[in-house]
Every structure is written in structure tokens, then in C-alpha cells.
Amino acid sequence: MKTIIFTVGAARDHDALPADARATVDDALDTFAREGHGDVKRLQGSPYFRLRAGRYRIVFDQDETTILTIYIGKRETTTYHGM
């Protein structure tokens, strides 16, 4: 299982989510950390990946043992601008 780490901004994004959305995001991150399964793609022109969790997108980087969560937001917003 990989360790999940949140940047300050991602922790702020996570805390601002409604309870049901937070549970969806947590489930998606836990499943990916434990099993390596999830709707994950590398972002074009970026070193980061994105993980779909319902209407939310989690932008992250990873190595052999760690998932560094960088941003959590709705797809309808400016999720991928500036990445």
C-alpha cells in the first residue's frame, strides 16, 4: 500500500468538500493506494496524473511508495488550468 500525502492546498480542497464528496474522494484514493486500480491518466504536457472520483478530479504525483495529492476539485471548474 502506498502512503497518501496531501499538499497544503490539497488538504484545504479536501476539507472544503461536502461530506459525501469527501467520502468518494477518500474511497478512490484508498483503492488506488491499496490496489493500484482507478480511472487514472497522465495529464498531457504535465508530469502529474489525475484520478477520477465521481464529479471530482484528484491531481497527484506518485513514486514507488507515495501518492502526493496536489489538487482536488470539480471537473466543471478550472481543475486543469495552470497544471
At residue 68, φ and ψ (nearest 5 deg) are -100, 105
Rounded to two decimals, the pTM is 0.88
* Domain residue limits, the chain: 3-74
First-to-final CA distance of the chain? 27
* CATH code for the part of the protein at 3-74: 3.30.2310.20
Confidence of residue 28 (pLDDT cuts 50, 70, 90): very high
Residue 32 vs residue 77, higher pLDDT: 32
At 75 the pLDDT is 80
Residue 33 pLDDT > 90, yes or no?
Answer: yes
- Residues 31 and 46: their CA atoms lie apart, in Å, by 24
Distance of CA 53 to the CA centre of its chain: 8
